[in-house]
Amino acid sequence: MANTKNKLSASLEDYLEAIFNLASDSDIARSKDIAETLSVSKASVTGALRALKDKELVNYKPYGFVTLTKAGKTTAAKIVRKHNVLKSFLADILGIETRIAQQAACKAEHTLGPEVITKLLRFIDFVTKENRNGYNLTGKFKKFCEKK
């Protein structure tokens, strides 16, 4: 019963996401890299790892490697999915510059609930379908933005 609470703070979500991304190739994440990714001190990372371990989302021992638990992977994947849906909407449909879309997704991903993300994903699918069916929505919107 180590798990203190189920809801993650925006900050802890960021850590989890960073670990997920860092571990995507090597399977493990190093403290130092997490710190660099999030522009945070190593001491802050240690603190976050303890909190995440407490919630049973990471396997962590002082001076040891960090890996995600099963639950950690699931949670992280959800966050990453949110991020990608958002970014895709902002960049591909609204036509916002990649870098800005990326940044915006990073922040908003913590605030938007499942209803919004689901609908957004559905909307992306819809637009894709419309584009395929000859009604070039994205193109039209782009034109609309350019004039005036």
Partner DNA sequence: TTGAAAAGTTAGGCTGAACTAACTATATTA
Partner DNA sequence: TAATATAGTTAGTTCAGCCTAACTTTTCAA
> Does 111 help bind a second copy (rule: CB under 8 A)?
yes
34: left (phi over 0), alpha (psi -120 to 50) or beta: alpha
> H or E element: which one contains 132?
helix 114-132
Q: If you search the block for the tokens 């638990």, which residue do you land on?
A: 69
User: Which position among 63, 99, 114, 147 is part of the footprint of DNA (CB under 7 A)?
Assistant: 63
* Cβ closest to DNA, residue 72 vs residue 89: 72
Nearest to 78 by CA among 98, 57, 53, 99: 57
Which DSSP category does 75 fall into? H
> Does 143 help bind DNA (rule: CB under 7 A)?
no
Pairing of β 58-59 and β 67-68: antiparallel
What is the residue-wise DSSP string for 1-23? -----SPPPHHHHHHHHHHHHHH
Q: How far is the CB of 116 from a second copy (least distance, A)?
A: 5
**Piece of the chain touching a second copy by CB under 8 A; list 20-28, 41-49, 72-80, 100-108:** 100-108
Q: How far is the CB of 121 from a second copy (least distance, A)?
A: 11
Interaction residues for DNA, span 18-47 (CB under 7 A): 30-33, 39-47
> Does 49 help bind DNA (rule: CB under 7 A)?
yes
Q: How far is the CB of 59 from a second copy (least distance, A)?
A: 31
Please check whether residue 112 is in contact with residue 86, taking contact to mean a CB–CB distance below 8 angstroms.
yes
132 binds, among DNA, a second copy, none (CB under 5 to 8 A by kind): none
* Cβ closest to DNA, residue 27 vs residue 125: 27
